[in-house]
Amino acid sequence: MTVSKPFSFSVLQTDGRARHGLVRTARGDIRTPAFMPVGTAATVKALYADQVREAGADIILGNTYHLMLRPGAERVAALGGLHEFMRWPRPILTDSGGFQVMSLAKLRKLSEEGVAFQSHIDGSRHMLTPERSIAVQGLLGSDIQMVFDECTPWPCEEDAAEVSMDLSLRWAERSKAAFAAQAGLGRALFGIVQGSVYPRLREVSARGLVDMGFEGYAVGGLAVGEGQERMLATLDATVPMLPQDRPRYLMGVGTPEDIVLSVLRGIDMFDCVMPTRSGRHGQAFTRFGRINLRNARHAEDPRPLDPESACPAASQYSRAYLHHLFRCGEYLGPMLLSWANVWYYQDLMAGLRAAIAEGRLEAHCAALREAWARGDRVD
């Protein structure tokens, strides 16, 4: 009888810098490269949890900032934890709240201790510190927790970026110390590399975190307005400094194209609101690029989004019907497009994994981009 490690990561195959791997957790395996649908307030918006799983997702993301405010971490814990609360029994990664407290909260005040802020919902006063963030993530029962960090804004001068990155390093150390209280539960804590677009700072951050030692490493502070070129250059500078044997997570990314380009650079995990947010606003992601269902040209188009998709939302409903639902403001429009988009993203990841496993990633990515550019308009 073998006793498996509660949290582990193995690289199964590589193709260039890209990796296909497996994260094992107490609540199930995560095939990488993985895309995590975002379940901000204990629900992946407009989807049943079963649909998220059937689409192929192994893990979803929950937002610490939102959940600590509503319904509250202690309440979720009393109700059996986030998995039980939202009926998602598989792995959940929670962010630290650091990004959202700076982008959403009112009257926030940052100090060495942490961030004092007022809720954007009801104005109530709260404090997020490394210790409180980890405690909240623990109360939620998160399988993969993130260190509390300051997400350096864009643009940011190098001096300010260094001050911010140094603070994040100190907070990472405090996060790790706080996480010790959850030892033995099979949970993982990931560090987050900061340093804006400055290679020197990224190096200091990465080395500092690797010295502390984490189960995985995220690249933070990207996809905040710096543009694709700077993002990729920062990945090129940062990823090689991360341990080969730990998962690498690019936070908040992104478009299908950004994901492909990041997988090619050795990223293993992604999250983004794009598939669900775009779906709610009438935009579908397909093998043949994006389709804005609000556009009048779809009003009489009997074709489904993609007849070859295994997703019912993509293969069984006409574009004319989807267009109609969005024109009428019907719930079913966001429901169907969120479903189709989450499914498309999971299909994208499955295709990337298979291509890496079979050593044909470059050709696969070229074919993906060619189809996106070609589109499928018939007029």
- Does 307 participate in binding a copy of itself (rule CB under 8 A)? no
Which residue number, 180 or 296, has a Cβ lying nearer to a copy of itself?
296
Only one of the segments 29-37, 67-75, 89-97, 232-240 lies at the binding site for a copy of itself (rule: CB under 8 A); that segment is 67-75
Question: Mask 76-95, x = binds a copy of itself (CB under 8 A)?
Answer: --xxx----xxx--------
* 254 preceded by a cis bond (ω within 30 of 0): yes
Q: Give the Cα separation of 42 and 187 in Å (integer).
A: 19
Shortest Å distance, C-beta 180 to a copy of itself = 30
Distance, first Cα to last Cα, the chain: 63
How many residues bind to a copy of itself according to rule CB under 8 A? 33
Give the pairing of strands 34-37 and 269-272: parallel
d(CA 378, CA 316): 19
Contact 336, 324 (CB under 8 A): no
User: What is the rounded distance in angstroms from the CA atom of residue 172 to the CA atom of residue 141?
Assistant: 20
Using CB under 8 A as the binding rule, whether residue 181 contacts a copy of itself is answered as no
Q: Strand (E) positions, the chain?
A: 8-15, 18-25, 28-32, 34-37, 60-62, 92-94, 106-110, 115-118, 125-128, 144-146, 188-193, 216-219, 248-250, 269-272, 283-286, 289-292
Q: 329: Cβ–Cβ under 8 A, 6 or more apart, which residues?
A: none
Q: What tokens appear for 279 in the block?
A: 């779906």
Q: Which is nearer to a copy of itself, 80 or 359 (CB)?
A: 80
**Annotated catalytic residue 271:** yes
Bridge partners, residue 270, by sequence: 35, 250
**Does the active-site annotation cover 95?**
yes
Of 195 and 304, nearer to a copy of itself (C-beta) is: 304
Ligand-binding annotation for 149, yes or no, is: yes
- How far apart are the C-alpha atoms of 303 and 98, rounded to whole Å? 43
Q: Residue from 157, 236, 300, 358 that binds a copy of itself (CB under 8 A)?
A: 300
The rounded distance, in Å, linking the Cα atoms of 266 and 245 is 12
The least distance separating a copy of itself from the CB of residue 98, rounded to whole angstroms, comes to: 21
- Catalytic one among 258, 271, 301, 347? 271
**Contact range with a copy of itself by CB under 8 A, out of 4-12, 146-154, 326-334, 370-378:** 326-334
Smallest Cα–Cα separation from 298: which of 274, 325, 316? 325
Does 48 participate in binding a copy of itself (rule CB under 8 A)? yes
Q: Which of 1, 4, 112, 302 binds a copy of itself (CB under 8 A)?
A: 302
Please answer whether residues 25 and 145 qualify as being in contact, where contact means their C-beta atoms are separated by less than 8 angstroms.
Answer: no
Taking CB under 8 A as the binding criterion, the range among 9-17, 38-46, 109-117, 156-164 that sits at the site for a copy of itself is 38-46
**Binding residue (CB under 8 A) for a copy of itself from 71, 153, 186, 289:** 71
Q: Are 161 and 117 in contact (CB under 8 A)?
A: no
Exactly one of 95, 258, 306, 347 is catalytic; which is it?
95
Smallest gap, in angstroms, from Cβ of residue 43 to a copy of itself?
5
* 376 carries a ligand binding annotation: no
> Segment near a copy of itself (CB under 8 A), from 5-13, 36-44, 156-164, 253-261?
36-44
Strand partners, 219: 193, 250
| Residue 52 near a copy of itself by CB under 8 A | no
Check binding of 311 to a copy of itself (CB under 8 A): no
Q: Is 166 annotated as a binding residue?
A: no
**Binding site as annotated, residues for substrate:** 95-99, 149, 194, 221
Q: From the annotation, which residues make up the binding site?
A: 95-99, 149, 194, 221
Binding positions for a copy of itself, rule: CB under 8 A: 41-43, 45-48, 70-71, 75, 78-80, 85-87, 299-300, 302, 316-318, 320-321, 324-325, 327-328, 330-332, 334-335
Q: Catalytic residue positions?
A: 95, 271
